[in-house]
Amino acid sequence: MSQKSTIHDLLVIGGGINGAGIAADAAGRGLDVVLCEMNDLASGTSSASTKLIHGGLRYLEQYEFRLVREALAEREVLLRNAPHIITPMRFQLPHRPHLRPRWMIRAGLYLYDFLSQRVTLPASRSLRFSAEGPLVPELRDGFEYSDAWVDDARLVVLVAMQAREHGAQIRVHSRCVAATIDEGVWLVTLQDERDGSRQQVRARVLINAAGPWVGQFAIGNHQEDKQQKVRLVKGCHIVVPRLYEGAEAFLLQNGDGRVVFVIPYQNNFTLIGTTEEDFIGDPSTAQISPWEIDYLVGIVNECFRNRISPADVVHHFAGVRPLLGGEGESASKVSRDYTLDLDISKAPVLTVYGGKITTYRRLAETAMERLHELFPQMGKKWTADARLPGGDFPSQAELIRDLQNRHRWLPESLLTRWAGSYGSLVYRLLTGVGCLSDLGEDLGHGLYAREVDYLVREEWAVEVDDILWRRSKLGLYFSAGQRRRLAEYLASY
């Protein structure tokens, strides 16, 4: 069915961080925006990251100073605007003299501090590791610096909520199956992936933010040459039982020139990644290979006292990035910078290539700058000072204290998880709740029916994995029987 009476300003294809960011920025400037995502929000690359908001220390070796400077500036913006899901983290970098000389690392960290202007986070420093620490005795010296941790999938959901607050329509499980030009505007056919129904949407501008699927929407006169340069790079991570005590993360150098992060994860686990390999095929089929698991395990065993094996891996995930250029270079050296390609020869289409989660907000601002000539009436940029939903509280400690005072019956583990996931949105979740029984059935590990209802109603959750792996990471704990019970509960809607 065609909605000829309504012509939207923008139709954004892709519900990852870049698509959500563009939708939010545009809607906040007064544009009429529709975002469509063929699966769940953040179901692709945006939930398969290393969970970091960082400048990219290793990008300095590739002379990407502009990208690092922009990312470090955005690190400060995001720490301020999303304090519930983004928190500071200290990283320790063991010195391995045969890989990089001390002066090179020290100079890189000095430059990293300088480019960030150190607004809130402490400076880097040299350190000597304790003999009782988690590293092997051979690693006695190293360095420490600051970056930040992020719940990547929740970031995407909160940005989509921000877009909705400003009037954007967010349509999940809605696949773009056709896009043609009709009377100077885009006529796009969207298919509901749940019931197969189709709807046509008209828009003045099409935004192709489909991530690794960007090549499936090569629309416009000048896209073919650019598509030939898109390089899909797969990155894989593994999760193992917690390797060490302490809140610090580690950045490990490897003999092939790559680096691997080892990060405390969800209280009881350690996240290790990433690999970087070229990928060919459907991005939805990307999986970690046995040799990639062996690669990550091997690097950890070179550096940590507690040795692990592939049998210790309790979870793993793979994501595919669409990077531009880098022909002849190794996958790890291809630029993570973004490129925006605007084609206005017939009906305007803006295509997004590359990018990293840290710079999503600046990417969205740049997209709006590119589109200003088409929408001269749009408002000014605004997102730098806009708290994401749930981020309007003075500090995590004060939020938790207030929740404890208001709801003394809440288990501490649940209160802490909710504060770190929802921030001040917890008050909305708890509206009308006076005791634990009001939360309904405990579907497993503190996932109460009340929270599931909230996620379905407010955050577009539809399926089990939407809740267990993207709205939370409770999938690390759920048994097969608990997953079935959750599926039954969701089927009751």
pLDDT in the model for residue 215 = 83
Cβ proximity of 373 and 270 under 8 Å: no
pLDDT band (50, 70, 90) for residue 222: very low
Rounded-to-integer distance, Cα 275 and Cα 184, Å: 44
Q: For 12, how many CA atoms within 13 A lie in the half-sphere containing its CB?
A: 34
Question: What element of type H or E holds 350?
Answer: strand 349-354
Cβ proximity of 193 and 39 under 8 Å: yes
Average pLDDT, the chain: 93
pLDDT in the model for residue 99 = 87
H runs (alpha helix) in 127-268: 152-165, 224-227
Q: Is 207 exposed, middle or buried (0-12, 13-18, 19+ CB in 10 A)?
A: buried
Helix, coil or strand: residue 396:
helix
Q: Is the pLDDT of residue 4 over 60?
A: no
Q: Write the pLDDT tens digit of every residue in 368-387.
A: 999 999 999 999 999 999 99
Among the ranges given (129-143, 176-190, 318-332), the one the predictor scored with the smallest mean pLDDT = 318-332
Helix, coil or strand: residue 441:
coil
For 235, other C-beta atoms within 10 Å of its C-beta total: 24
Q: Are strands 185-192 and 198-208 parallel, antiparallel or unpaired?
A: antiparallel
Nearest to 35 by CA among 153, 170, 157: 170
Q: Is the pLDDT of residue 152 over 50?
A: yes
Q: For 276, how many CA atoms within 13 A lie in the half-sphere containing its CB?
A: 21
For 487, other C-beta atoms within 10 Å of its C-beta total: 11
pLDDT in the model for residue 1 = 41
* Token pair 């391995």 in the structure block, residue: 96
For residue 287, the 8-state DSSP code is -
Backbone φ and ψ of 326, nearest 5°: 80, 20
Q: Write the pLDDT tens digit of every residue in 396-427.
A: 999 999 999 999 999 999 999 999 999 999 99
Which of 442 and 336 is assigned the larger pLDDT?
442
Q: Write the pLDDT tens digit of every residue in 472-481.
A: 999 999 999 9
Q: Is the pLDDT of residue 332 over 70?
A: no
Rounded-to-integer distance, Cα 303 and Cα 425, Å: 41
Residue type for position 243: L
Backbone φ and ψ of 211, nearest 5°: 60, -130
Rounded-to-integer distance, Cα 92 and Cα 249, Å: 6
Across the strands, what pairs with 199?
190
Cα 172–Cα 178–Cα 181 angle in degrees, nearest 5: 120
pLDDT in the model for residue 154 = 98
pLDDT band (50, 70, 90) for residue 221: very low
Which of 239 and 98 is assigned the larger pLDDT?
239
Rounded average pLDDT over 134-152 = 97
Considering only CA atoms, give the Rg of the chain. Answer: 23
pLDDT band (50, 70, 90) for residue 331: low
Domains and their CATH numbers in the chain = 2-45+154-228+335-385 (3.50.50.60), 85-149+230-333 (3.30.9.10), 396-491 (1.10.8.870)
Among the ranges given (12-21, 76-85, 277-286), the one the predictor scored with the smallest mean pLDDT = 277-286
Residue type for position 72: L
Rounded-to-integer distance, Cα 167 and Cα 27, Å: 6
pLDDT in the model for residue 2 = 46
- Cis peptide bond N-terminal to 274, omega within 30: yes
Nearest to 348 by CA among 227, 230, 208, 224: 208
Q: Write the pLDDT tens digit of every residue in 345-362.
A: 889 999 999 899 999 999
Instruction: List C-alpha distances in Å: 197 to 1, 12, 203, 318.
Output: 10, 20, 20, 31
Q: Is the pLDDT of residue 442 over 60?
A: yes
Q: Write the pLDDT tens digit of every residue in 54-90.
A: 999 989 988 899 999 999 999 999 999 999 999 999 9
Nearest to 333 by CA among 259, 229, 237: 259
Which of 116 and 222 is assigned the larger pLDDT?
116
**Percent of the chain's residues with pLDDT above 70:** 95
For residue 375, the 8-state DSSP code is -
For 131, other C-beta atoms within 10 Å of its C-beta total: 8
Answer yes or no: pTM beyond 0.85. Answer: yes
Distance of CA 393 to the CA centre of its chain: 22
Rounded average pLDDT over 3-28 = 93
Rounded-to-integer distance, Cα 108 and Cα 8, Å: 47
